[in-house]
Amino acid sequence: MRLLPCLFLLSVSTVATASIPTGKNHGQWLVTSISSVDGVHGGDASVILAQGDEHNDLEVRWNEGSASVNVSMYIDECVGEESFEASYSVATDKWLQMSDKEVRTRLRANILIWLDRVRRTCASTPRFKLRALDAAAKDFTDRLRGFAGYSE
């Protein structure tokens, strides 16, 4: 009889443990995924492709339960106290249906447009690197496919 409460506590403690994020660097880019933030299997999975820090950030993010992949750029104190922000979203299903080349082309084009706007608008320009974006975007999409259960 004492075994049942122990088994229950063991199962509860196992469920309450969040998974450890896994990541890989591609040049300046970091691709990270976590299968469970809250410790519940299938809860709060995330895949993130990012470069920068809390002041200047380029990010592609998908969170479990979200219907879209969000792409954003944030530059802190672009002009005086004002920040520069740009973003767009792509439906998760549409992102997963795009070829790796289409994903790379769209990301690169939008980032270049934003960087051009930053150069013309901001007092100083962060040094984001686009090298290795292709490999990072592929890694992000492959991880997303794994979590979303999508197969080509």
Q: What is the pLDDT of residues 48-62, one digit of tens each?
A: 999 998 889 999 999
Q: What does the pLDDT read at residue 152?
A: 52
Residue 37 pLDDT > 90: no
pLDDT, greater one: 7 or 94: 94
Closest among 100, 105, 96 to 62, alpha carbons compared? 96
Q: What is the pTM of this model?
A: 0.79
CA distance 5 to 71: 47
Mean pLDDT, the chain, rounded, equals 82
Residue 17 pLDDT > 50: no
Mean pLDDT of 68-85: 92
Q: How many residues does the chain have?
A: 152
CA dihedral 92, 96, 100, 106 (to 10 degrees): -30
